[in-house]
Structure 1
Amino acid sequence: MKAAIFGVGQGGNALMNLISSDYEVVACFDNNPDKWGSIISGLTVRSPDKLLDDNPEIIWTGSLNADVAIDIENQIRGLGFDGTVKHASDLKNRYDLRLAELRLIGDQIRKRRVTGVIAELGVYQGKFARELNQNFSDRQLYLFDTFEGFVPEDIASERGLSKANPGDFSDTSEEDILNKMPFPGQVEIFKGRFPETIPDEEILYAFVSLDADLYEPTWQGLSYFYPRLSSGGVMLIHDYNSMQFPGVKKAVDEYLNEQKLFIIPLCDFHGTAIFIKA
């Protein structure tokens, strides 16, 4: 079946890999003129007025925002397409690869008796932290975040990498996070700019979720957590293949090259990557 993708942001890029075994992806489109003419997985991004040129039987919208996806579907219909329209946002909501991977990793950590606490750098509103607390209910969970959004010092280190602003992701609080935790007694919060909040005692980590979004805290997170991962410990890096936060990939690749390490990118909508310490 011939398919096209409308919207070549992070969701659209993930779709290229996720649906290629079931569909022949023949075209991709975007509303942003700056993307027209660029190449995505061997296809040239085109303007919406070219939508019907390749006679696709199905069009996938690439936006991960459900409301935006509906707006794009209406636009597609207005351009005369009467075939099937599906949404990356629906696929993401039905199947979250990162959460599925977390459960499998948890089973392996328990089976192999990997020692250490669990941690997350970049908690925001605590959705993934809740899953960590649920899956590792017998272990301490250390949560590192400013709980006030991005700080100016880290924004200054972006060097034009992203459009992040001080205070982004500030709609959260320590109290809200703890209220979401199924086992709050196992949770310890470290509020403030990382790495200024690193505990004084020496700690081993069995699993770390690194979700700092920006170059500087990502680099600092790798520098702190990786040497303290137990043998068999796992680090899950959010936004490694993010188009919104390219500083993450820059920091990770620089650290990997310096330490001669390797990671495995996952084909999910979060742009996740994973590595295991030998």
Structure 2
Amino acid sequence: MQFPSYPAAVAQRIEEYPDDVRYSTLALAVQRLQDDHIPGAFAEVGVYRGVTSAFLHRQAPERRLYLFDTFEGFPSQDLEAGEDTRFKDTSQELVAGVIGDTQNVVFRKGYFPETASGLEGESFSLIMLDVDLYRPALEVLRFFYPRMARGGYFFMHDYNSPESDRAISRAAHEFMADKPESLIEIPDFHGSALFRKV
């Protein structure tokens, strides 16, 4: 990108990532939230090893960042068919190490939406959904949508991925059917999508 609105240091970090479209889009969203003074915490649901978490936190360290994950791979109750052993090679400690300074970072380890208990009154301006499975994706949308600040961003990783029988797009279409927002697809590596709360 020739004229990004985000700082040069952020642009330099983006060059280190293989999916520069995804991270450039996230960086533009965070910068827009900052420039427009849109309040609200950030949340990532489906953290894995914390690469995206670290990126978000470094760009907006003053924002509270909630990280929701089992930090042990997929919960067995969410697996729709068979055993899926991906994403087990992580831990809360590993993610904390990737992030570095964890001031304003809140780890919510366990099963979502139980791990969101106590946050019913919180407001969010950026949500990053990366759970790969239908039921958890629907629960994330149900919890966060009414708690989003106007102008806030909701990112859905793997929206265009055929993985898990197109789980993310199925959940998104079902939930968004009666909502005023439109989904915008992003040509990143895994086919993400986003919407802004109106």
Measured after TM superposition, the shift of residue 168 of structure 1 is 2.7
Match of 1:228 in 2: 147
Match of 2:92 in 1: 174
Q: Is there any run of 5+ residues in structure 1 with no aligned partner, and where?
A: 1-91
Letter in 2 for 1:176: L
Q: 1:171 to 1:256 in 2, by over 3 A?
A: same
Runs of 4+ in 1 over 2 A off after TM superposition: 92-95, 164-168, 258-261
Pair 1:115-2:39 in alignment: yes
1:206 and 1:232 in contact (8 A); partners too: yes
Measured after TM superposition, the shift of residue 226 of structure 1 is 1.1
Alpha-carbon distance between aligned partners in 1 of 2:19 and 2:158, rounded to the nearest angstrom? 17
Match of 2:22 in 1: 98
Pair 1:215-2:134 in alignment: yes
Q: 1:115 to 1:93 in 2, by over 3 A?
A: closer
Secondary structure of residue in 2 paired with 1:101? helix
1:133 and 1:182 in contact (8 A); partners too: no
2:181 and 2:196 in contact (8 A); partners too: no
Q: 1:95 to 1:173 in 2, by over 3 A?
A: closer
Measured after TM superposition, the shift of residue 165 of structure 1 is 2.4
Measured after TM superposition, the shift of residue 166 of structure 1 is 4.5
TM-score, scaled to structure 1: 0.62
Q: Is there any run of 5+ residues in structure 2 with no aligned partner, and where?
A: 1-15
Alpha-carbon distance between aligned partners in 2 of 1:187 and 1:199, rounded to the nearest angstrom? 17
Identity across the alignment (%): 36
Equivalences for residues 1-278 of structure 1 within 5 A: 96-155=20-79, 158=80, 165-201=83-119, 202-245=121-164, 246-278=166-198
| Alpha-carbon displacement from aligned partner over 1:151-184 (angstroms, at most 9, x marks no partner) | 11111xx3x5xxx625431110000111111431
Alpha-carbon distance between aligned partners in 1 of 2:46 and 2:19, rounded to the nearest angstrom? 22
Q: CA RMSD in A?
A: 1.7
The total of aligned residue pairs comes to 181
Match of 2:7 in 1: none
2:155 and 2:192 in contact (8 A); partners too: yes
Measured after TM superposition, the shift of residue 136 of structure 1 is 1.3
Letter in 1 for 2:69: D
Q: 1:229 to 1:243 in 2, by over 3 A?
A: same
